[in-house]
Structure 1
Amino acid sequence: PIGQQVMKGAPTDIYALDAQTGEVQWIFHGPTQKHKLQKGDDNIVAMGQRASQNVRGTTLPNPWSAPTIDSSGTVFIGSEEGPFFSLRDENGDGVLEGGNEVSTYDAEACFAGSSSPAIGRQMMAIASIDALYVFKR
């Protein structure tokens, strides 16, 4: 969920659910969190402890950008680890595998939780923490 505390090594699965029944249509096992910070983030934020006060916990960013779904049901989503994914269960078997169902582009920079792909005529755009990517069909 958005705002969930995600620690290094946390799973990043994506579930597609049937809107009417809530039944799981497919599960995509995303990249495991390898970093405590977002890929491409050179700044380190440290928390200190003051006398008689405990260190406060923090909520780390969602490991995914906000998703966009096109009219064919393809999910477009960026990862905090750097890859941008296009996901679609082409044959409806509940398993995502192969280039027709899972495509990736590694930007080597984080796609932040509030970033969302924008789809236009024959193109799509998404911003990472350091660049704007535009993909053409």
Structure 2
Amino acid sequence: MKTFLILGSLNAFLGVALGAFGAHGLKSKVAPEMLATWNTAVQYHLVHALGLLVIGMLCHLMPGAMLVRIAGWLIFLGVLLFSGSLYVMVLTGIRGLGMITPIGGVAFLIGWLLLALAGFRQGAG
């Protein structure tokens, strides 16, 4: 599904841009622990952007694998909730947003498990 190739590419772009913004724009404006939080958000954002690209390719190779598509949407949701909540928390100082972050982490975990399950269902290769 080209949707995940597009989402993966755009998220990779955003991850790089937000990483540069953190390194150059936030370094002198936020506390070191908040900059570390920003960097964690960027790291997870970029890793899962690559995951979305892989899922896009797998959708092409396994067009009937609904679990692959569901995994992609969960990983995208994870980026929004995990990295997104951390970005907003750093920018606004609202620490309560950190309660959303684990929901994104769970979405990542379920997405990766579903991708593994799709691979098992595909059979030996």
| TM-score when normalising by structure 1 | 0.25
Structure with the bigger percentage of strand: 1
TM-score by length of 2: 0.27
Identify which of structures 1 and 2 has the higher relative contact order when contacts are C-alpha pairs closer than 8 Å and 6+ apart.
2
The structure with the largest alpha-carbon Rg is 1
